[in-house]
Homo-oligomer: A and B are copies of this chain.
Amino acid sequence: MTEQSLTRNIYLHDVPLDEAIADWHTALGAAGLLAPLGKETIPLTEALGRVTAEPVWARISSPHYHAAAMDGFAVRSEDTRGATETSPLLLRLGEQALPVDTGDPLPAGMNAVVMIEQTQPVSQDGAEYIEILASSAPWTYVRPMGEDVVASELVIPANHRLRPQDLGAIAGSGHSVVSVYPRPRVAILPTGTELVTIGSELKPGDIIEYNSLMLGAQAEEAGCIVTRLPIVRDDYAAIRDAVAAALESHDLVAINAGSSAGSEDYTSAIVQELGELRVHGIAIRPGHPVVLGLARGKALVGIPGYPVSAAMTFDLLVKPLLYRWQGLELPEKPTVQATLTRKTLSPLGEDHFLRVTLGKVGDRLVATPLAGGAGVLMSLVKADGVVQIPRFSEGHDAGEKVRVELMRPLSSIDSTIVAIGSHDLTLDLLADRLRQGQPRRSLSSAHVGSLSGLLALQRGEAHLAGSHLLDEASGEYNTDTIRRLLTSNGVRVVLLGFVNRQQGLILPKGNPKAIAALDDLLRDDIAFVNRQRGAGTRVLLDYALAQRGINPRQINGYARQEYTHLAVAAAVKSGAADVGLGILAAARALELDFIPLFDERYDLVIPVEHYASELLAPLLALIRSREAGFAQAVEALGGYGTAQMGEVLAEL
């Protein structure tokens, strides 16, 4: 440990991804760590999914004797010669015909089997016979020895992942065990004084430690034996000792977090002290503070702390090694071409891994980038795929074709309904119900506000948009904007009633600042949190402010934008704001106070071709059928009316 390593190391030295991998692999290769880590012999009952370390040659033939292939009688082919329907032959039981069941060995001297269905028992002169109506060629209905496998034949090659039928074939060729590569032993060490275990009581600053759960699951998926070590606080010696202990009994140790260059980032120094630090910092987004090294003949890595960075760097850097150790090639991820819906900027010099959702809208597969940085794990939960933007590119324009590595099968993407627009909690409820339906559908909804949703429909990027845009002139919801943005551009839509909902002021529990109405937003002691431009709630607010002659610039916090009702409620809950405008459901969800101001309509806008599609049929049925119980579930949330749910309000 150097003095410097204990001080605040501000700069990493990011190297390009391919150089980082090459450098690490060179060192791993020199240590014999790029190939399988030995062999072990295990019983076949435990070998499913394991990879053969040696070829399997048949010890015995299968069958290992000539076997009857039918229930019937073993005969000599010669004795059956000349038998026909018109001149049947009798074969004497016990001499010329011996009863056999399927699998029985062919009795000595016999060379064919006659099926029982093709015989008749006959008693004649005190003896028993069978009558046959056809001759049997030699070896008819006989499974000759070695029909399946002949002793010494290759049954399964080395480096083969064992499937159920392979296990059967290995057993059938005389083995009860098989030589396979050992499962890699992987230890995940979570470090950080701020970390608490899953299920702990939380105070501000506590971070629930779930990366080891996730990274461990990734290693398990890759076939490893995983040890999730207890959390170690940010203490150089404590972490070093835990790593050193883990290296004793594991093939790879992953230290989670502390891989950057902050005052409590010890990973690189620890790798350096215990072994060989090869890489500290890779020019990838997300994930650049990665540490790659080795120590005591084992692989040792530092994984960044942000969950998306953690998951993606593990996948990108560690998983290929885990596969190599098992003699497996990394399965190629299937890819598709899709049209990017938004311009995406990408930093020159960094390989950028962009999470996207995919949707089949009409004939086009569209890819929508997911918002959120390396801390937004939901972006990885919701992602359908990843677009890799190489380091020499500055990104892509909207409408460009991009190659997407799929994270779920294309067939399930084909059955996904893409909603872009205003967010409402009832869409989550709808999504959950849809997945339980038969036929099943997924509803993928991006929360961008009503106006952006309608623009997405204009560009053909979504199947439907939730919208609650009040037209100030007509007092109507949605129709004016639809005419202007969609109808005039040749996009014909159905305006479908969905929910009525209460919009109002979301306030801290007990309303400590005694806010009563919109006018209170002008007060100096009050910080407001706003919705983004284009959101229906924002339009409603601006309309109401204009009616009251209030200048928005006078409202403290008017410029602070959140993108969902729940985010507004969260801002109020946390004390970051004193009041926001939103729906009752959001206030209720976070146990906040609520003063209703308006009752508004939240409709679904659906282009006619999707409205009539087989894809949307289950969604429409769910919305319309009172029996399905969806409307009741919505009303149970409180603050919602469902009188117009499923009603066609207009065709535009």
Contact = CB atoms under 8 A, between A and B. Distances in A.
B570 A151 contact: yes
B213 A332 contact: no
Given A149-B378, A311-B168, A264 B214 contact: no
Contacts of A376: 147-148
A618 to B, nearest CB: 14
A346 to B, nearest CB: 20
B566 A101 contact: no
Nearest to A199: B176
A154 B432 contact: yes
Interface string A35-61: 000000000110011000001000011
A343 interface: no
Contacts of A332: 409, 411
Main secondary structure on A side of the interface with B? loop
State the number of copies, please.
2
A168 B307 contact: yes
Nearest to A60: B202
Contacts of A380: 165, 169
Contact of A214 (B157, B168, B442): B168
B566 A217 contact: no
Contacts of A264: 101
Contact of A381 (B63, B165, B331, B425): B165
A143 B214 contact: no
A174 to B, nearest CB: 8
B428 A154 contact: yes
Nearest to A206: B64
A431 B154 contact: yes
A103 B165 contact: no
Which of A44, A143, A429, A574 has the largest count of B CB atoms less than 10 A from its CB? Answer: A574
B210 A198 contact: no
Interface string A139-175: 1000111111111111111111001111111011010
Interface stretch (A65-73, A491-499, A604-612): A65-73
A588 to B, nearest CB: 8
A375 B205 CA distance: 64
A220 interface: yes
A163 B331 CA distance: 17
A513 interface: no
A574 B145 contact: yes
Contact of A66 (B139, B147, B228, B574): B574
Contacts of A199: 176
Nearest to A314: B164
B432 A381 contact: no
Given A157-B432, A205-B65, A332-B409, A150 B560 contact: no
A216 B47 CA distance: 12
Contact of A168 (B44, B160, B210): B210
A569 B150 contact: yes
A167 B214 contact: yes
Contacts of A560: 138-139
B305 A102 contact: yes
A161 to B, nearest CB: 10
Interface-centre pick from A158, A220, A307 (highest chain B CB count, 10 A)? A307
Nearest to A407: B163
B566 A153 contact: yes
A317 interface: no
A441 B159 CA distance: 11
A562 to B, nearest CB: 8
Contacts of A502: none
B431 A262 contact: no
A95 interface: no
A144 B198 CA distance: 21
A571 B145 contact: yes
A370 to B, nearest CB: 12
B71 A146 contact: no
A576 to B, nearest CB: 6
A165 to B, nearest CB: 4
A220 B104 contact: no
Nearest to A570: B146
Contacts of A163: 217
Interface in A203-224: 204-208, 210-211, 213-218, 220-221
Given A409-B331, A567-B146, A210 B158 contact: no
A5 to B, nearest CB: 16
Interface string A260-287: 1011100000000000000000000000
A524 interface: no
Given A164-B311, A211-B168, A45 B228 contact: yes
Contacts of A586: 152
A127 interface: no
A148 B8 contact: no
A210 B175 CA distance: 11
A116 interface: yes
Given A145-B570, A576-B66, A381 B169 contact: yes
Of A431, A566, A571, most buried by chain B (CB within 10 Å of CB) is A566
The 6 tightest CB contacts between A and B, nearest first, are A152-B589, A146-B570, A171-B210, A154-B428, A150-B566, A164-B217
Interface of A: 8, 10-11, 44-45, 48-49, 55, 60-66, 69, 71, 101-105, 111, 116-117, 138-139, 143-160, 163-169, 171-172, 174, 176, 192, 194, 198-199, 202, 204-208, 210-211, 213-218, 220-221, 228, 260, 262-264, 305, 307, 311, 329, 331-332, 372-373, 375-378, 380-381, 409, 411, 425, 428-429, 431-432, 435-436, 440, 442, 560, 562, 564, 566-567, 569-571, 573-574, 576, 586, 589-590
23 contacts: A10-B116, A45-B216, A69-B373, A102-B305, A103-B305, A104-B194, A105-B205, A145-B574, A150-B564, A150-B566, A150-B589, A152-B566, A152-B586, A152-B589, A154-B428, A154-B431, A158-B435, A164-B215, A165-B307, A167-B210, A169-B378, A171-B210, A332-B409
